[in-house]
């Protein structure tokens, strides 16, 4: 079955830039999406179609794509950005969707 691979954890100090990667063989063909999840809350979409930002999402959140890897970048990280982040995409035929394993962002 199709898999997306994320690092389990990323740590940065406030004001620095956090980069979270997500790798998958079908990413050149399928868009990637990023969700933020804070403890006890439902996930929340922060990036769609690789690099688009929904209304209301701060500009410090951005996304990019290169080959089989997509990256969520958070510039000028704030304490409130500490959360789990999940990438999500579909397999090459778009019949099955999949989430990455999630990355815990810690703001030191």
* Residues at the interface with other proteins (CB under 8 A): 1, 30-31, 33, 35, 37, 42-45, 48-49, 84, 86, 88-90, 94-102
Residue 21 vs 75, nearer CB to other proteins = 21
Residue 2 vs 64, nearer CB to other proteins = 2
Q: Is 54 exposed, middle or buried (0-12, 13-18, 19+ CB in 10 A)?
A: exposed
**How far, in Å, CA of 35 to CA of 44, rounded?**
5
At 100, give phi and psi (nearest 5°).
Answer: -70, 170
CB 43 → other proteins: shortest distance, Å? 6
CB 61 → other proteins: shortest distance, Å? 16
3-state secondary structure of 68: coil
Q: Return the DSSP state at 10.
A: E
Residue 18 vs 85, nearer CB to other proteins = 85
CB 68 → other proteins: shortest distance, Å? 17
């Amino acid at each position: 079955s199709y898999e997306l691979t994320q690092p389990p954890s990323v740590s940065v100090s406030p004001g620095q830039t956090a980069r979270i990667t997500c790798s998958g063989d079908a990413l050149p063909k399928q868009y990637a999406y990023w969700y933020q999840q804070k403890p006890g809350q439902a996930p929340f979409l922060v990036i769609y179609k690789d690099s688009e930002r929904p209304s209301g999402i701060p500009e410090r959140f951005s996304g990019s794509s290169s080959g089989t890897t997509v990256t969520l970048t958070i510039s000028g990280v704030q304490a409130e950005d500490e959360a789990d982040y999940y990438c999500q995409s579909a397999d090459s035929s778009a019949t099955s969707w999949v989430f990455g394993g999630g990355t815990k962002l810690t703001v030191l």
